[in-house]
Amino acid sequence: MDIKIKTALISVSDKSGLDKVVQSLKEHNIKIVSTGGTAKSIADMGVDVTDVSSLTNFPEMMDGRVKTLHPNVHGGLLSKRDDKKHVQSQKEHDIEDIDLIIVNLYPFEETIKSEEREEICIENIDIGGPAMLRSAAKNHQFVTVVTDVGDYDDLINELNENNGSTTLKFRKALAAKTFSTTAYYDSLISNWFHRNTNEPINKFSTAAKLSSTLRYGENPHQSASLYKSSMQQSGIPHAKLLQGKELSYNNINDADAALQLIKEFEEDTPSVAIIKHANPCGVASGGSLCEAYMKALSCDTTSAFGGIIALNQTIDKETASEIIKIFTEVIIAPDVSDEAKEIFKSKNNLRVLT
């Protein structure tokens, strides 16, 4: 079922791309309702915009904490257009249909990464935004919801191709994406609140973003993707690839096993771990990094062939010269000296991560 877009509500913290989507709505004679700074931005474009307070008959209050949490907003989003009781309630309470919302959330993730004060982080927890997104997504049978700036072009194309309407298929796909977004957002907040506790968490969820789609999974007929945890900034997914092609699924598993093992050693003690198929085939410490590597290699020189090497100190020229004497898939270290980088360049298929 196609739904003609007559009224759109826009409330965005990220205003990139806003001009092009607003111009598209104007071209299709769609009424625009907006909030605070977003309304000002739209007005500055020379486009007519109605402030949400005209819809709610309430001003924004409490430093913007309360502005869209109102029956005139959520009734307009949640009403079933084909339900006589819903339509009657709208008439009785003078609630207008809202056919499209474009909402992105307060930048909580960016705020916690910048290590702002706790009270600043708390103020960047969006309440009204997720509530509107969930209302619209639940009622996707009648309402279109856009929360990703990257979907603006798709929305514009959809409106152009359907004479200002959207299809159910389009609305359903955006609804699914919206619930993923709000779940991700709430997981970030939950994990942030639990960040300094050692107490068991009764219900746990994690927040992660797609980093890359891998060539295949554990076996060639399987698919796999790599996701980055938004609460961490270290580990294999966050490592810098100095040379070589992207890691495979099995490379990532082995590399993580090697990294976790080498992290057991003190940084001031040169230590090396060699991993093959997620199992250690050599682990050692020594007076120097090169000595530690030679000891680790001597544990099982056969299994080390084609393995993954993790080192806990900067790789120097001497260590690099020894490492390249056998075939190695991946090397992981805190850093690599310029001399060692030049040595590794002689092995095109060698991946080097820092």
Catalytic residues: 138, 277
How many Cα atoms occupy the beta-carbon half-sphere of 3 within 13 Å? Answer: 23
Sign of the dihedral through C-alpha 236, 241, 249, 224: positive
Q: Output the CA–CA distances (angstroms, integers) from residue 314 to 120, 311, 317, in the order listed.
A: 38, 8, 10
What does DSSP say about strands 50-51 and 31-34: parallel, antiparallel, or unpaired?
Answer: parallel
Q: What is the 3-state secondary structure (H, E, C) of 229-251?
A: ECCCCCCHHHCCEEECCCCCHHH
> Helix crossing, 18-27 with 152-161: angle to 10°?
10
Q: State the amino acid at position 344 in one-letter form.
A: F
Residue 47 host element (H or E): none
Residue 35 backbone phi and psi in degrees, to 5: -125, 145
> What are the CB-based long-range contacts (under 8 Å, 24+) for 237-242?
237/211, 239/332, 239/353, 239/354, 240/353, 240/354, 241/351, 241/352, 241/353, 242/336, 242/341, 242/344, 242/352, 242/353, 242/354
Q: Do 273 and 283 form a contact (C-beta atoms < 8 A)?
A: yes
Cα angle 246, 240, 228 (rounded to 5 degrees) comes to 75
